Amino acid sequence: MSIEAYVDLLFREADDRFEKMRRNPVTGAIWFTGRDPVGPQKQLACRALKAREAFARAAPWDAPQLPLSYEQSERLKIGGLSHVVAWYAQSLAYCDFDIDEHPSFEDYARGVMSLTSLPPFIKRNRELMKRYPPRELYGLGPGLYWIPV
């Protein structure tokens, strides 16, 4: 089944399909029936799932699956690599999961490690520093979101 067909199925069978306020079954984004068209929500869901597939192919072997919702990302914020994956996922979501425009995970992680304002449990993590030697990433802004420059 294609990603597009899978997303159509998820939206068609969503528990909230008859509600006014809906939640994207992939990204968790809230939208309103009758006010917000469903098309952009489905496109976002498709991009998110494609980003997850791309991340799985390029991610470190020990990285968790790319979270696609805020709630999933928050659960990964436990320190170490999973914490950086959560930040990366939130940055990618901020860019509407445009995996082609957003920096790779490695470039993003190195950019994060170059920041002086990181929490000590990340900044002092020797394994992360060794894996992702600090290198400035232009466009990495507040909240650790990458913004195209």
**pLDDT tens digit string along 85-120?**
999 999 999 999 999 999 999 999 999 999 988 999
Token pair listed for 39: 């098309």
- Rounded to whole angstroms, the Cα distance separating 125 from 79 reads 9
For residue 87, CA distances in Å to 16, 40, 90, 110 come to 28, 24, 5, 12
Indicate the SS3 state at residue 92.
Answer: helix
Mean pLDDT, rounded, for 46-68: 97
**pLDDT tens digit string along 118-130?**
999 999 999 999 9
pLDDT at residue 149 tops 80: no
Q: What is the pLDDT at residue 18?
A: 94
Mean pLDDT, rounded, for 121-146: 94
Mean pLDDT of the chain: 96
Indicate the SS3 state at residue 129.
Answer: helix
Mean pLDDT, rounded, for 20-41: 95
pLDDT at residue 146 tops 90: yes
pLDDT at residue 148 tops 90: no
> Minimal CA–CA distance to 89: which of 146, 31, 131?
146
What string of H, E and C letters represents the secondary structure of 24-73?
A: CCCCCCEEECCCCCHHHHHHHHHHHHHHHHHHHHHCCCCCCCCCCCHHHH
pTM greater than 0.75: yes
Q: What is the pLDDT at residue 84?
A: 98
